[in-house]
Amino acid sequence: MAETDWEHRYQTGDMPWEKGEPSPGLVDFVAAYQGPKGQSVLVPGCGTGHDVRVFAAAGFQAVGLDLAPSAVDLARDRTVAAGLSAEFHRSDFLSDPPLRTFDWVFEHTLFCAIQPDRRDDYVRSVERWLKPGGDYLAVYYLIDDTEGPPFGSTRQEIERRFGSRFEMQKQWVPRSYPNRTGLEWMVWWRGKP
């Protein structure tokens, strides 16, 4: 299968994943989170930065990565316009060396966007970018589609891929965008020290 040209999709406005707002499940999680303030968080495949801005507004040191230069530019501009501080970098989460390691990695629509044969690379990348014992929070999109992106996955596949490397702290069905209600699964994993 050919890799998706993400920059072309941003340039042509072919962005059905762009909802104009952050993940509702993330908004709810951050509002309820009682942990330490000022922790670092990485959002790979951040797109225009909605989820990064949720973390930044809550006092996290938020960093977004994306392959598409246009996404990074839009994310920076919108973050400045919102009066928030966050970093954005053009980087390949799956193959580039980490800029540094983070207390948190947040997943939202990158796992389903990559070619399924790269999913083991994805799991290893979460481990590389995350501090030992760090937290990996994920909103997975559970659909059947094999002609993606987005590419489908199941709870069983996710548990098989991540369960031996991370400890599940909590899992639930989050509040979602209207067209994804009941199709998302949110999991809070913790890396092994």
The answer to whether residue 6 sits within a structural domain is no
What is the tens place of the pLDDT at every residue in 146-161? 777 889 899 999 999 9
Task: Report which of residues 57 and 16 the model is more confident about.
Answer: 57
Residue 1: per-residue pLDDT:
45
Long-range contacts of 61-67 (CB under 8 A, 24+ apart): 62/86, 62/87, 63/87, 63/88, 63/89, 63/99, 63/102, 64/88, 64/89, 65/89, 65/90, 65/91, 65/93, 66/6, 66/90, 66/91, 67/6, 67/7, 67/91, 67/92
The type of residue at 52 is V
The answer to whether residue 118 sits within a structural domain is yes
The answer to whether residue 138 sits within a structural domain is yes
The answer to whether residue 17 sits within a structural domain is no
Q: How far apart are CA 165 and CA 191, in angstroms?
A: 7
DSSP label of 179 = G
User: Measuring CA to CA, which residue among 121, 171, 138 is closest to residue 42?
Assistant: 138
The answer to whether residue 128 sits within a structural domain is yes
The answer to whether residue 4 sits within a structural domain is no
Query: How many domains does one find in the chain?
Result: 1
Q: How far apart are CA 183 and CA 179, in angstroms?
A: 9
Long-range contacts of 79-85 (CB under 8 A, 24+ apart): 79/49, 79/52, 79/53, 82/53, 82/57, 84/53, 84/56, 84/57, 85/56
Residue 156: give its domain's CATH number: 3.40.50.150
Residue 46: per-residue pLDDT:
96
- 5-9, 13-17, 143-147, 169-173, range with greatest mean pLDDT: 169-173
The answer to whether residue 29 sits within a structural domain is yes
- Residues spanned by the domain of 46: 23-191
* pTM score over 0.75: yes
Residue 192: per-residue pLDDT:
85
Cis peptide leading into 150, omega within 30 of 0? Answer: yes
The answer to whether residue 111 sits within a structural domain is yes
